[in-house]
Amino acid sequence: MPRRHAQTCRVLGCAQVQPCPQHGPVATRATFDRHRGSASARGYDRHWRAFTDRYFGQLYALKVPRAGLCGGRHPAAPMTADSVCATTGVLQLATLVDHIIPITGKADRRRFDLSNLQGLCDRCHNQKRQRESTQARRRI
């Protein structure tokens, strides 16, 4: 059976194993969020918001199946299982544009790449983020 590495507290300089008795889960999450940067610093600024409006318009113009709905994506984008709504046939409006492969910031070349984007509802996006977060923690 593979041996799992213990995760350490996210507070800088603290070597305690999680859950940290000194800082607790709330403090470690707050520290993580502070080091993560603002949404604008991560690339989700006014340019991104204007792009997302154009993105959904492009999907409608191309007559893409599920354009504007959760799971809708450009024809160049790969199929994913990120949208539970699309998998189960639920007609739910997409509330945001999601990067299939997460970007690293404003300079990432995949930031506006149509083949790396999909429309998701809040619920499906949160589930995807939770899966990615769990996988990232397992790699530490």
Asked if residue 34 is part of any domain, the answer here is no
CA–CA separation, 138 vs 93, rounded Å?
32
pLDDT digits (tens, 9 = 90+) for 29-58: 666 666 666 777 776 788 888 999 899 999
| pTM, full prediction | 0.71
CA–CA separation, 30 vs 36, rounded Å?
10
Predicted confidence band at 59 (pLDDT cuts at 50, 70, 90)? very high
CB 78 within 8 A of CB 97: no
Asked if residue 125 is part of any domain, the answer here is yes
What's the N-to-C CA distance of the chain in angstroms? 18
Q: Tell me how far the alpha carbon of residue 56 is from its chain's centroid.
A: 18
Q: Residue 89 is part of which domain span? A: 46-139
Asked if residue 38 is part of any domain, the answer here is no
The number of distinct structural domains making up the chain is: 1
Asked if residue 56 is part of any domain, the answer here is yes
